[in-house]
Amino acid sequence: MSGLAGQLALVTGASRGIGAATAEALAAAGAHVVLTGRDTKALEAVEERIFAAGGNATIAPVDLAEPDGVARLASAISGRWSALDILVIGAAVLPQLSSVADIDGQAFNRALTVNVLATQALIANFDAMLRKSARARVIGLTSSVGAEPRPYWGAYAATKAAFDNIMASYAAETRAISNVRVAIVDPGATRTAMRARAYPGEDPASVKPPEAVAAAIVRLIGEDYPSGHRTRINQPG
């Protein structure tokens, strides 16, 4: 595949799971992918797989929870490239599931920082580069609990509700004045480490692999969807 040849993509949470699979799929489609995450060794492993498959990637380790993490990332990328064509916001923190009354404040604060504040910071710091692209695409990975609250998921659900609103607002603000198109993607049940922590008794083979989500994201990036589009990936493939 070469449909994304010449395009620059940035994927957060690219060290494992859906983020890693999406980075590899984007590279396979021809994009140069900047891999961001906290685990340098895991990022290097993803980069090596991309190189082995004939793709191109650059690792940029960063902790999105650090106050200046996103700003440093943006400075490094803008110093090398002029435009950003694809931004996939996949990094997220799942606090321990608990009743609202028992939410751990420290863990909730980190989830808010990574899932919400870092999302706004990514948009703020990369907006100018996205607007320089002839066909910019911003993909945000969400969860159904943001729109459909359920018991014991209050902390994570609150961060995803805020995430959804930030993404939808950005879509509305840029829709008529730029080439930026935003999509909010709910991966649905997927075989990831995060899901394994949330559902420890579940058979991993009973849910789709991250590669199925990655393939759907790459297909979506190639479509002319309306900005603010929201979709859920229910089936593998």
Positions marked active-site: 156
In the block, tokens 């949330």 appear at 198
Nearest CA to 210 among 226, 224, 190?
190
For residue 38, how many other CB atoms are within 10 A of its CB?
A: 17
- Which CA distances in Å does 90 have to 18, 53, 141, 146, 178? 7, 22, 5, 15, 23
For residue 202, how many other CB atoms are within 10 A of its CB?
A: 13
* Cα–Cα distance for residue pair 137/134, rounded to 1 Å: 10
**Torsion angle of C-alpha atoms 157, 161, 163, 167, degrees rounded to 10:** 150
